[in-house]
A and B are shown apart, each in its own frame.
Chain A
Amino acid sequence: MARTASKVLDIALLLAMGSAFAMIFFYAPIESEMGIVQKIFYVHVPLAWNAFFGFAIVFFASFRFLATRDPKWDARALSAAEVGVLFTTLVLITGPIWAKPVWGIWWTWDARLTLTLVLWLIYVGYLMLRRYVESPERRAVLAAVVGVTGFIDVPLVYFAIRWWRTQHPQPVIAGGEGSGLDPRMATTLWVCVAAFTLLFVALYRRRLAIEGLRAHAEALRDEAEAAHVEGARS
């Protein structure tokens, strides 16, 4: 059943990605001021939104773990954090590649960019913490605390361009009066958002399955060790 679901998801992902890139290159118009480099937007924005989605899962799963101490929530938080960090890394790579030809600089310490870098550091810290704390129980609790408190940066990143004057472009979706996109650009963006959401889900499911296998392997290892000790005693 899970295998069939994975296959269906993989096929949907391939179709969605194929459609997204076909629309980017053959359907979406070229922006008049920035030219073709504006099309980086179609991967940059979906990556950022899905990273937020991932960190929202980390927040919820960490909260549930602290309430129930059920390891399945810890595994869900870890899986979402890892994919979220990958997506945030790509946001921090694609952003400067767009900024260099448009602004003439790779980076500026404005509120949106700085808070996004802080977001990346928080969740890289989360993953590092998981590597360095040896006790599994202590590791899960500490990680969950970071998973809950670290989420505070997500709304700050999202609202930074609304609250402060930033070099980062103003919002084009739900940005109020004067904002908005050409309908063909908007359709392309939503197809890209759907494709990257499927990518997020596919990676998250794969990562979570590994945690299940790891737990199974650890249980077998413990069983073998217990049998070995028992054998040595008798």
Chain B
Amino acid sequence: MTWLLAAYAAVVIAVALYWVRLGRLRRALATEIEAAKRPR
């Protein structure tokens, strides 16, 4: 059972980290675009 849980945990953690990274990148770019569009 330990081996099985270790394998599944590796998959869940890696996918979750990548998902969060994509979310952060998207938010950073959206903020940059909003700032660039704002009249100076």
Q: Which residues of B contact A (CB under 8 A)?
A: 1, 3-4, 6-8, 10-11, 14-15, 18-19, 22-23, 25-26, 29-30, 32-33, 36-37
Contacts and interface: CB of A to CB of B under 8 A. Distances in A.
Report whether over half of chain A's contact residues are helix, strand or loop; otherwise say mixed: helix
Contact of A40 (B3, B15, B18, B22): B3
Interface of A: 36-37, 39-40, 43-44, 47, 86, 89-90, 93-94, 97-98, 100-101, 199, 203, 206-207, 209-210, 213-214, 216-217, 220-221, 224
B33 A213 contact: yes
A94 B7 contact: yes
A210 B22 contact: yes
Contacts of A203: 15, 18-19, 22
Contacts of A214: 29
Contacts, number: 69
Given A43-B8, A207-B22, A220 B33 contact: yes
Contacts of B33: 213, 216-217, 220
B30 A36 contact: no
Contact of A206 (B7, B14, B26, B36): B26
B10 A90 contact: yes
B39 to A, nearest CB: 12
8 contacts: A40-B3, A44-B7, A86-B14, A86-B18, A203-B18, A206-B23, A213-B26, A216-B29
